[in-house]
Amino acid sequence: MSAGPAGPASSPMPPPESLPRRVVLTGFMGAGKSTVGRLLAERLRWPLLDIDSLITAEHGLSVARIFAHHGEEHFRRLEAETVARVLDPMHQDPAYEHNHAIVALGGGAIETEDVRDLLFGEATSAPGTVTIFLTAPLPELLARCNAAPQTTQTTCDEADEETAVRPLLTAPEPPEDRLARRLPHYRRAHLTVDTSGVPPAEVVGRIMDWLSGTESDAGHSRQPAAL
């Protein structure tokens, strides 16, 4: 998803009352969740709540250090708690009580059942929340993550998503296996956007076009779509 100039103007800004309360971005590492999230937040003039960044700020440790010192299971527990405080009105942290927000999940958050319940559960999903799966072929995702840190505009997310903060890049489990395990969960998203070779600004435009047609009623059943 190489950086590039914005394409033609997309659909007009939808009225706030027609938009979801939370737009959640998910996908494997390198999908561009932080990059697209930042641009989408700027476009909508909403705050961006990046779950990895919130965990780092709260605990004073990078994701890589949490993995190294406490293990993945501990990190997933912190991650699920943070997601709940952002999405679940019953457990919401006052710091995150925004009328609207873009939420960027870590790539593995979808593996935790409590997180999936908040995103997709018939009786447990957070009201007014839609989930968008950013996808691309695995070789492209890994190439984005391995892009040289000094590159001014990478095809992945920028400094916060470089190899140094991606502990699973060096994990024993092959990325192919990890992605295969997550794919069934990613595919439950309300919208899937193929980012392969697509500039981030164009990805945002496609999401904006789709959001213009979504319903604000939290009880409305959205059929999965792909762009």
Domain ranges of the chain: 16-226
Give the mean pLDDT of 130-158.
Answer: 72
**Strand, coil or helix: what is 22?**
strand
Which two structure tokens, joined as six digits, stand for 188?
């439950």
Q: Are 222 and 20 in contact (CB under 8 A)?
A: no
- Written as one string, the DSSP assignment of 113-182 is HHHHHHHH-TTTSPTTEEEEEEE--HHHHHHHHTS-TT-SS-SS--GGGSGGG-GGGGSSS-HHHHHHHH
What is the pLDDT confidence band of residue 88, given thresholds at 50, 70 and 90?
confident
> What per-residue confidence (pLDDT) applies to 12?
64
Which two structure tokens, joined as six digits, stand for 6?
């914005």
- What is 16-226's CATH topology? Rossmann fold (3.40.50)
> What per-residue confidence (pLDDT) applies to 165?
52
C-alpha span between 142 and 13 (Å, rounded): 34
Give the mean pLDDT of 201-215.
Answer: 87
Structure pTM? Answer: 0.82
Which one-letter DSSP state was computed for residue 8? S
Give the mean pLDDT of 102-111.
Answer: 95
| CA angle (142 as vertex; 188, 202 as ends), nearest 5 | 65
What torsion, rounded to 10 degrees, do the Cα atoms 178, 179, 180, 181 define? 50
C-alpha span between 63 and 217 (Å, rounded): 35
Which one-letter DSSP state was computed for residue 103? E
Phi, psi of 195 (to 5 degrees): -100, 5
Spatial CA neighbour of 135 closest among 204, 181, 194: 194
What is the pLDDT confidence band of residue 56, given thresholds at 50, 70 and 90?
very high
**Least confident span in 42-46, 76-80, 145-149, 160-164:** 160-164
> What per-residue confidence (pLDDT) applies to 152?
37
Instruction: Report the phi/psi class of residue 45: left, alpha or beta, with left for phi > 0 and alpha for psi in -120 to 50.
Output: left
pLDDT digits (tens, 9 = 90+) for 157-202: 433 333 345 566 666 778 899 999 999 999 999 999 999 999 999 9
Question: Which percentage of the chain shows pLDDT scores above 70?
Answer: 78
Spatial CA neighbour of 33 closest among 18, 48, 21: 48
Which one-letter DSSP state was computed for residue 60? S
Question: Highest mean pLDDT: which of 55-64, 136-145, 183-192?
Answer: 183-192
Question: What pairs with residue 23 in β-bridges?
Answer: 102, 130
Give the residue with greater pLDDT, 2 vs 72. Answer: 72
